[in-house]
Amino acid sequence: MQVLPLQSGAPTKECPPHGRLIVLTGPSGVGKGTLMQALLQRHPELYYSVSVTTRSPRPGEISGKNYYFISRDKFEQLVAQGEFLEWAEFAGNYYGTPREAVLDHIRSGKLVVLEIELEGARQIRTSFPSALSIFILPPSFPELENRIRGRAQDSEEAIARRLHRAQEEIKAADEFDLQIVNDDFETALNHIEAALFA
C-alpha cells in the first residue's frame, strides 16, 4: 500500500468551510465503486453524484442508485442542452455527471464525491481546478486483470478493451493530487478518509 501526494492541490489540515468537489478515478476493475460504497456507508453526510449512462444495468444495479440508465438518443440530447458537468464515452457507452445537482450541493456546503472515468476526471480538473482528485491504482497489472476477469460480466473482447484502456489510464495517475494503491481495502479506504477529513 502506498500513497503518493503531489505538490499541488493537496488537502489542507482543516475541513473546508464551504463545499468541495472530490473526484475518484482509476482504471476499470480497480475497486473504485466498492471503495465509494464503503465511504458513503461510513459518511452519509457526503453527497454522491449518481452518474448517467447508456450502458445496460448489471445484475443487482438499480436506476437512480447505481446509475441513471438512459438511451443514447436521450444522452446526446442532454449533452446538447449542456446538462452535464462532464461526460465521456467508455467501452462503447456514454457516462456523464448531471451539472445542476452537483453545483447546488457544493454551494450549500456539502462535500460532493464523483466516481468517474479518466476522461471525465480530466474535464473536471480543467473546469474545477479546486477539486480534490484521487487516482486509485491496482497493486499490479496482473492483479487488475484477475479482478476484471473475476467479475465474469464481460466478453473476452470487452475484457481486452478494458485492459488496453487500463494500461493507458494508469500512465495518467501522476496528473492527480493523490494516488492510492488499492492493495489492502481497509487501508485504501482509510487513506481516502484522511484526504477528505484530515
Place of cell 473546469: 127
Cell of 195: 484526504
> How many other CB atoms are found less than 10 A from the CB of residue 71?
10
In the chain, the amino acid numbered 178 is: L
- CA gap 143, 97 in Å, rounded: 29
pLDDT tens for residues 161-196? 889 999 999 999 999 999 999 999 999 999 999 999
> How many other CB atoms are found less than 10 A from the CB of residue 95?
22
Domain boundaries along the sequence of the chain: 20-197
pLDDT tens for residues 43-100? 999 999 999 999 999 889 999 988 999 999 999 999 999 999 999 888 789 999 999 9
CA angle (181, 35, 29) in 5-degree steps = 65
**Do residues 166 and 28 lie in contact, with contact meaning Cβ atoms separated by under 8 Å?**
yes
20-197 is classed in which CATH architecture? 3-Layer(aba) Sandwich (3.40)
Cell of 6: 503531489
pLDDT at 98: 94
In this structure, what are the phi and psi dihedrals at residue 158, rounded to the nearest 5 degrees? -65, -40
**Do residues 77 and 106 lie in contact, with contact meaning Cβ atoms separated by under 8 Å?**
no
Cell of 28: 476499470
pTM of the model: 0.80
Nearest to 56, CA basis, from 93, 31, 90 = 93
